[in-house]
Amino acid sequence: MRAGPGCIFSNLAPPPDPVPFYTTVLYDRENSSFSRIKAGEFDWQNILNDTKCLHLTGITPALSESASEATMEAIKAAKACGCKVSLDLNYRAKLWSRQQAGKTLSSMMDYVDILITTRGDTHTIFNICAETDEDLAAILLKRYPIEVVAVSYREGDTVWRCVWSALAQTANKTFKTGTYSIDIVDQVGRGDSFAAGFLYGYIATDDVQKGLDYGVAFAALKHSFPGDFNWCTKEEVEALLAGTKPGVNR
């Protein structure tokens, strides 16, 4: 069940004390049509010629060796077209090892303009440790030729509740936004919602702060939907950013 922006809750009563529940995901991708994608199958120059940003995640190259080759081909084509490249690291242990992920994604980082990650994924894939998200962002900006990095974080030890936010950083500035305390209906799809909101705000306006605000709010609202698809609207995101209001919006 979901309510309007700023009022996110579950219709199931949470247990009185924290219980270490967890969500598990099955990846049934082996031998799927997408896992068989190959380099040379797409005219990337024609596809990306008028595109502002190509967004990819670490899941695509994890599906198969040919998918990894096609991903690299797409990234190189995007850079040749003057199209920005966005990468969400999205490490999935069920799809490949940390060594495979590190080797493959490290080779792509010279082409990435916008990096979306978490402290955990960055450590797993690149073996980079930092005491704070700001320190992590600074290390990534120094190590790779990216223009902006967004680091999201979730705090909470149950699937019922969490505290959610993120920061973004460029070479010259750190951007912060609101923090949301959330009662969770479903947390799957939160990361994709954050990436979608961040890219929409940033690419549409060339404003990192707006991208961060949209990304965190869009992901916060995602927690109120079952399943991994986010059904909320831009107007709902903007209403949440304008400030929470008690009561029912009729």
Ranges of beta strands (E only) in the chain are: 53-57, 84-88, 114-117, 148-155, 161-169, 174-176, 180-183
Model confidence at 22: pLDDT above 90: no
The CATH fold assigned to 34-242 is UDP-N-acetylmuramoyl-L-alanine:D-glutamate ligase (3.40.1190)
Cα distance between residue 95 and residue 187, in whole Å? 20
Q: Which residue ranges make up each domain of the chain?
A: 34-242
For residue 167, the model assigns a pLDDT of 98
Mean pLDDT of 62-88: 96
The percentage of residues in the chain with a pLDDT greater than 90, rounded to a whole number, is 80
Model's pTM, two decimal places? 0.88
- Residue 87's SS3 state is strand
- Residue 81's SS3 state is coil
Q: What is the pLDDT of residues 188-229, one digit of tens each?
A: 999 999 999 999 999 999 999 999 999 999 999 999 999 989
Q: How confident is the model at residue 3 (pLDDT cuts 50, 70, 90)?
A: very low
Q: What is the pLDDT of residues 38-53, one digit of tens each?
A: 999 999 999 999 999 9
For residue 93, the model assigns a pLDDT of 94
Cα 121 to its chain centre, rounded Å, is: 11
- Residue 172's SS3 state is coil
- Which of 131, 139, 137 has the alpha carbon at shortest distance from 151? 137
Cα distance between residue 177 and residue 209, in whole Å? 8
